[in-house]
Each structure stands twice: as C-alpha cells, then as structure tokens.
C-alpha cells in the first residue's frame, strides 16, 4: 500500500478517481464541477480525464440535481453530487429528506439509493450568513441517511470511498478550511474507513474533548496548550455522526470522568447537544462534572472577519470549558 502526503482536497479527488476507475456506474454531477473544475477545485482535471459523460455540469437547481441523482441511483448508477456549498443543499431538502432518505423504506427494500452528496460545509473566510451553515447536524436528524464529517485527509479518502460503495444515501461534509490541510494517505483501491467508528486522535487522562471536522483540530490545539499546564486532554474524533459510535465516546469519558463536546454549528440544537445528552444519560455515574458544550454563537454568520471569528469556537473557548469542568 503506497503512503502519499496529500492535501485534504487531493484526498477527496483521489477517492473519486479511484471509484470512477473501479466502477463505471460512478459519475459526478454539480454546478461548475466540469470545465470550471469546481469552486474549491476539488474536481480539478476530472472533466478532461472522464469527459462530460461522467462529469456533468448542471444548471443552478439543487432540487433538480438531487432529484435526478436519486432517480439515477434507483436504477443502478452511483452518482456523487457536489454541492457548491452545503448551505445550498437547503434548497434540496425535500428531495433529500422525503425521497432519497425514504425510498428504501417506502418500497419495503425493493429500491436502494446509493447516492453521495458532498461539498464544503461550515464557515470559510468571510462567506457571510448564507454560505456558512454547518448542515451535518440537520441531516443526522434524518433516518435513512448516513452522515460523515472527516477531519483528516486519510479519513476523507477512506470514508468517501466507503460512501460511494454504500447502498444508502450519504451526506459527506468537507470543511472548506481543511482543504489545504496535509497528511499521509494510504492510497489503495480497497482502502476503506468504516462508518460508525470514532477515533482517538490524542490520548489523555483528565478530560475528553469530543468533536468532528474542523473542531477536531481546534481541540488538538487546545489539548496542546493544556498539556503545558499538566492537564492531559483526550481528543475524540467522532468522524461519523450517523451512525454514531457511542461506545468509543463513552469509553473515553469513563476513563477521564469529564467531557466537553465541541462543534461549529449553532450551539442551540446542534449535533453536539445530542452527543452531550447521550453522555449525560448513559455516563452520569462516571462524570465528576457536568458535560460541557462549546458551539457557535446563535447568530447569522457576520461578513466582517473580526465578527466572524467571534462566532466560531476556538482553542481558548475550549480551554474555558475545561476550566468550567473543574480543571
């Protein structure tokens, strides 16, 4: 198995190339993904490699894109839809929730929808209120979908390949600020990272910091600062929201006896609140302090950079929550 250093963007691209070469039923569709090569250049070079038969530039109509992809998936194809931003998937909520997620159930298993909807989700730099949504928690609320949010290039590569091969619709969120992050990736046609399995990315004994996507990196930064004070924080990368690996999360909390859940989504009702609630219900007797939560401010994302930074959780916010937990 070849190990290559690549960016998160390159890892996502390589996963799509692998799956398109492996399976002729895999194809891409989305706005400006072909000749323009994608807003974030994730599909760079794929139009020339696979031609317009398998890399389809679509009109600006998210409901139409997802509706077409759902139908194509039902008859045996495996579409990968790129949302220019996951914020735009709001326009396709009826197709995603009422059709893609429910077809298998409503046909009593006679039809499957092997569909991947992927794209940048979360706040980039000054994309303002309509382009900065963290949608993964919304979708993790829906039975029939699978929802993943990898934080590292190797996971992005392996989990996207898993998503393409899954017979269920998968929401695959890529944080836009992670596209340039580099890491070692095991490039292999059959390298897969399973869903429903969290990962301990830093071991510790004093408190568990639980996060996914970009917030994993924020927690690692906070853990490094805390280590300088003798506080050993364990960092749990959730990776897969639906299905959710509660066993790994619970095992970490039972070792450290304290927990802080960190997520970029609005604090009120975000997916981190679900994780915190489950820890509170099932690990109550193991806790030495209430479960902490660090989430985004409950306001529309400002355009001004100085205000935007106030809305997004950072390492100092995580450290403040650790202090509140008694450390």
> Per-residue pLDDT tens for 43-95?
999 999 998 889 999 999 999 999 999 999 999 999 999 999 999 999 999 99
Q: Give the strand pairing for 182-187 and 170-174.
A: unpaired
- Find tokens 């409950």 and name the residue: 298
**Mean pLDDT computed over 164-170:** 98
Cα distances (Å, whole numbers) of residue 238 to 10, 35, 104, 199, 243: 22, 35, 26, 6, 10
> Per-residue pLDDT tens for 107-159?
999 999 999 999 999 999 898 999 999 999 999 999 999 999 999 999 999 99
User: Which residue among 154, 187, 220 closes a domain?
Assistant: 187
Q: Could you tell me if 179 and 207 lie in one domain?
A: no
Q: Could you tell me if 176 and 216 lie in one domain?
A: no
Domain count, the chain: 2
Q: How far apart are CA 59 and CA 62, in angstroms?
A: 8
| Containing structural domain, residue 248 | 199-324
What is the CATH classification number for the domain harbouring 223?
A: 3.40.50.920
Q: Could you tell me if 230 and 119 lie in one domain?
A: no
Q: How far apart are CA 167 and CA 164, in angstroms?
A: 8
208-239: b (≥16 Cβ within 10 Å) or e = bbbbbbbbbbbbbbbbeebeeeebbbbbbbbb
Q: Could you tell me if 145 and 282 lie in one domain?
A: no
Q: Could you tell me if 104 and 207 lie in one domain?
A: no
Write down the pTM of the prediction: 0.96
Is-catalytic flag, 217? no
196, with CB counted inside 10 A (0-12, 13-18, 19+), is middle
Is-catalytic flag, 62? yes
User: Which residue among 164, 187, 210 closes a domain?
Assistant: 187
**Catalytic site residue from 10, 31, 62, 264:** 62
């Amino acid at each position: 198995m070849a190990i290559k250093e690549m960016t998160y963007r390159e890892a996502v691209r390589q996963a799509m190339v692998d799956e398109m070469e492996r399976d002729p039923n895999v194809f891409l569709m989305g706005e400006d993904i072909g000749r323009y090569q994608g807003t974030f250049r994730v599909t760079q070079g794929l139009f020339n490699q696979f031609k317009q038969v398998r890399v389809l530039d679509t009109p600006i109509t998210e409901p139409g894109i997802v509706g077409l992809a759902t139908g194509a998936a039902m008859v045996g194809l495996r579409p990968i839809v790129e949302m220019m931003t996951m914020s735009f998937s709001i326009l396709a909520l009826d197709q995603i929730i009422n059709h893609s997620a429910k077809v298998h159930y409503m046909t009593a298993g006679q039809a499957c929808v092997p569909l991947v909807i992927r794209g940048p989700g979360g706040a980039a730099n000054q994309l303002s209120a309509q382009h900065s949504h963290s949608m993964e928690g919304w979708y993790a609320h829906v039975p029939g979908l699978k929802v993943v949010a990898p934080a590292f290039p190797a996971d992005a590569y392996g989990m996207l390949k898993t998503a393409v091969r899954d017979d269920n619709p998968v929401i695959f969120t890529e944080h836009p600020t992670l596209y340039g992050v580099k890491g070692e990736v095991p490039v292999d046609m059959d390298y897969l990272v399973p869903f429903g399995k969290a990962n301990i990315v830093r071991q510790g004994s004093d408190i568990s910091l639980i996060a996914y996507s970009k917030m994993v990196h924020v927690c690692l930064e906070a853990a490094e600062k805390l280590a300088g004070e003798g506080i050993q924080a364990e960092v749990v990368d959730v990776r897969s929201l639906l299905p959710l690996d509660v066993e790994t999360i619970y095992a970490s909390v039972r070792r450290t006896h304290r927990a802080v859940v960190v997520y970029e989504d609005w604090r009120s009702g975000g997916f981190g609140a679900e994780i915190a609630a489950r820890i509170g219900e099932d690990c109550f007797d193991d806790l030495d302090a209430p479960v902490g939560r660090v989430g985004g401010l409950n306001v529309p994302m400002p355009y001004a950079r100085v205000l935007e930074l106030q809305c997004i959780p950072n390492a100092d916010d995580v450290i403040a929550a650790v202090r509140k937990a008694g450390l």
